Structure 1
Amino acid sequence: MSVGPGRLYLALGLAGLAVLVLPAVWWAVQRPSDDREWQPNMAVLPWAEFTDSLVRVHNVRNTEYRSVTDYTPRYDDRVYDLRDLDAVWFVVEPFAEWHGVAHTFLTFGFGDRQFVSISVEARKERGEEYNALKGLFRRYELMYVVADERDAIGLRVGVRGNDVFLYPMRAPVKRIRDVFVSMLERANALREAPRFYNTLTENCTNTLAEHVNALVPGRIPFSYRLFLPGYSDELAYDLGLIDTDLPFEEARRRFRIDPRGAADRDAEDFSLRIRELGG
């Protein structure tokens, strides 16, 4: 039996509609969750309590790494006094041959006594690897990792063997404190209501810009470099956010962490060592 042109066009139209609608339906029904079999060093969410100038952060990560895959997760609770918070660094870790790919995060200094990193990451399940394409399609939840620098930086320099750049930021002390509090408040919110990570719209870098712009609207304007974190240090430099008078390429060499400074990840003065030795 022959099929008339009208029915054929209708069938093709319905098939085309299904191609458009089904992915949208799939997207809409996806829900973020905390109830998954997480990678061990991403299984515990941090959260914070605020009492006047004191901040008690629960589940600060300080994992003992023997290799990238062999490690013992460790967590503890730490108290920080906002009155002592006076410095912040922008950390960039390129991890691919293409220059545009990198991970970024902030690390905060409380005088020379305490340092703590806050890293916005795709929360991975056990055995799962990060994939930028998957990150576009609600395959990862969003996580704020709060970690000792011996974990956050020591892992990247000493264990993975990647180049890591530690840029001192130029910002008023009050703004530094406000960003720190804002990021911990977001960590608290994610503990109550999980959200999806997105490679383009909610990644490690543009989320940091969101925190800054919430306090100072327009301080970090729209730029393609927010979507390509490997170029984000150039953006920060062009905006006058990096505390240096050096030309950019020279600053990049100066603020590259020397692996010798990160060699002893258990050293009590680890954070001071990585700042004393330039690239």
Structure 2
Amino acid sequence: MLSVLTTLAGVWSGFALWYQLQAPAQIRTVAVAVLALAVLAALNGLWRRRWRPLLGFAVLFAGMLGWWSTLKPSHDRIWADEVARLLHIDIDGNHAHLTNVRNFDWRSETDYTVRWEDRNYDLGRLVSADLVLSYWMGPAIAHTLVSFGFDDGRYLTFSVEIRKEKGESFSALGGFFRKFEAVLVASEERDILRVRSNVRGEDVYLYRLQVEPATLRKLFAGYAGEAAKLEREPAFYNTLTSNCTTIVFDLARAINPQLPFDYRLLASGYLAEYAYDVGGLTPGFDYATLHARSRITERALAAGNDARFSELIRVGIPGTHPTPVGETSAGTPSMKK
């Protein structure tokens, strides 16, 4: 058991050094190599029943934990343009005023027009919420977004993302080791969905959620609470425990505490299947049909920068438009119980 614990402590410390030590790659490599030698010496001491090397590693690991505790998230860095501003939301009755809504015009990942705007929304006109999954690394991993629809045809999308510094790129492993801060982005769909499908080449799916009007407002207010929390105090993004999917689940569970925990909340690419199983997607269709019809990638590519982007990507998605008379889920009855 001590061998396993020593090995795990060494592996964790190695990654922590690699991702957090503010030094050139050569120095980080030397530091990790020295750490590896200390782990090997401790394991060799265990096998030989010599405790001094293990004690030495224990002291080293205690020092690592002490250093780790000094790492704090910050709002004061040189941020990438698309996450440079913090979202602020004021809700007064039915009126929601949002500051720093993103509305970029993307031509490529490096060529874009920067636009941050103030927006006003009437929460009494909130009529829908859509779950969006954008696949960028195989079928099990997707970025999760929630898009709110209003009866005037407007949509507003919320996305919890890493707050990249200029020149920084995402690392799933780095997300376990306090490499990134978290940020909540509110954006036009023509920005935040189109950049994923049309610019980054991700595969995007959009599902209509079955949510009562009163619950829609609570969910929207939950995002307002998350925005306020991040304004008050910066927080680290964590690939496992504090990411785009887990925060959505936390908000939903605050409304419905009976929602079960499920491995698909960690394997976010399967989140839509989880939503289907708990009755959260459009009824009357089996999951395979919903999944096939909810793929918007090709429609987004065809829509381009059209002002009707949000309308065009929803053509044919169950629940987002009236179903034509006589249309069924490809002749297959719903599998939902």
- Asked whether the two chains share a fold, i.e. TM above 0.5, the reply is yes
Deviations 1:106-165 (A, max 9, x none): 000011421000001111111111111100111111111100010111111121222211
Runs of 4+ in 1 over 6 A off after TM superposition: none
Shift in Å, 1:259? 2.4
Distance 2:280 2:266 in 1: 18
Counterparts of 1:65-214 in structure 2 under 5 Å? Answer: 65-96=106-137, 98-214=138-254
Shift in Å, 1:267? 2.5
- Which is further off, 251-260 or 191-200? 251-260
- Which is further off, 28-37 or 63-72? 63-72
3-state SS in 2 of match to 1:164: strand
Are the structure 2 counterparts of residues 210 and 51 from structure 1 closer, same or farther at C-alpha, using a change threshold of 3 Å? same
Structure 2 stretches of 5 or more lacking a match? 1-44, 319-337
Bigger radius of gyration, 1 or 2? 2
Counterparts of 1:34-53 in structure 2 under 5 Å? Answer: 34-53=75-94
Q: TM-score, normalised by structure 1?
A: 0.92
Distance 2:86 2:64 in 1: 31
Q: Are residue 273 (structure 1) and residue 312 (structure 2) matched? A: yes
Shift in Å, 1:176? 1.0
Q: Identity of aligned pairs, percent?
A: 36
Are the structure 2 counterparts of residues 68 and 9 from structure 1 closer, same or farther at C-alpha, using a change threshold of 3 Å? same
Structure 2 counterpart of 1:117, which letter? T
For the aligned residue pairs, the C-alpha RMSD in angstroms reads: 1.9
Corresponding residue number in structure 2 for 1:245: 284
Structure 1 stretches of 5 or more lacking a match? none
3-state SS in 2 of match to 1:243: coil
Q: Are residue 16 (structure 1) and residue 57 (structure 2) matched? A: yes
Distance 1:199 1:190 in 2: 17
CA contact (8 A) 2:183 2:230 kept: yes
CA contact (8 A) 1:244 1:251 kept: no
Shift in Å, 1:10? 5.3
Distance 1:67 1:85 in 2: 32
3-state SS in 2 of match to 1:196: coil
Deviations 1:5-43 (A, max 9, x none): 9xx945313322134323322321110100011111111
CA contact (8 A) 1:65 1:71 kept: yes
Corresponding residue number in structure 1 for 2:67: 26
Are the structure 2 counterparts of residues 129 and 17 from structure 1 closer, same or farther at C-alpha, using a change threshold of 3 Å? same
CA contact (8 A) 1:116 1:148 kept: yes
Deviations 1:25-68 (A, max 9, x none): 23211101000111111111111112221001011101111112
Corresponding residue number in structure 2 for 1:233: 272
